[in-house]
């Protein structure tokens, strides 16, 4: 969630400032910014509202979309391969 860090810095907010405004612990925000944890939708919403942004502006939707798409495509390939193997038996 590098977008959280970028937005926070652009708005001139420290982690403590964002904690005080959003109610989300600064250590938790730090872990989101450094991709140690994925934010809950509740915390992501609090952070977005605190910075007068939308959740969409904070997440890298394209990256997430592409990653999920790749994962699903791999599952489809495995399923098709499994079905092909089962038809041969």
What local confidence, expressed as pLDDT, does residue 83 receive? 86
**pTM for this entry:** 0.69
Residue-wise pLDDT for 2-19, tens only, equals 789 999 999 999 999 999
Residue range 30-79, pLDDT digits in tens: 999 999 999 999 999 999 999 999 898 888 777 777 888 888 888 998 99
| 1 — pLDDT class (breaks 50, 70, 90) | low
Taking the C-alpha atoms of residue 27 and residue 33, their distance in angstroms, rounded to an integer, is 10
Angle between helices 15-22 and 26-33 (to 10 degrees): 120
């Amino acid at each position: 969630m590098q977008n959280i860090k970028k937005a926070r810095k652009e708005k001139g907010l420290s982690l403590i400032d964002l904690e005080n405004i959003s109610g989300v612990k600064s250590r938790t925000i730090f872990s989101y910014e450094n991709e140690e944890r994925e934010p809950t939708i509740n915390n992501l919403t609090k952070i977005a509202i605190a910075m007068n942004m939308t959740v969409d502006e904070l997440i890298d939707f394209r990256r997430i979309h592409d990653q999920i798409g790749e994962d699903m495509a791999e599952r489809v390939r495995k399923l098709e391969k499994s079905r092909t193997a089962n038809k041969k038996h």
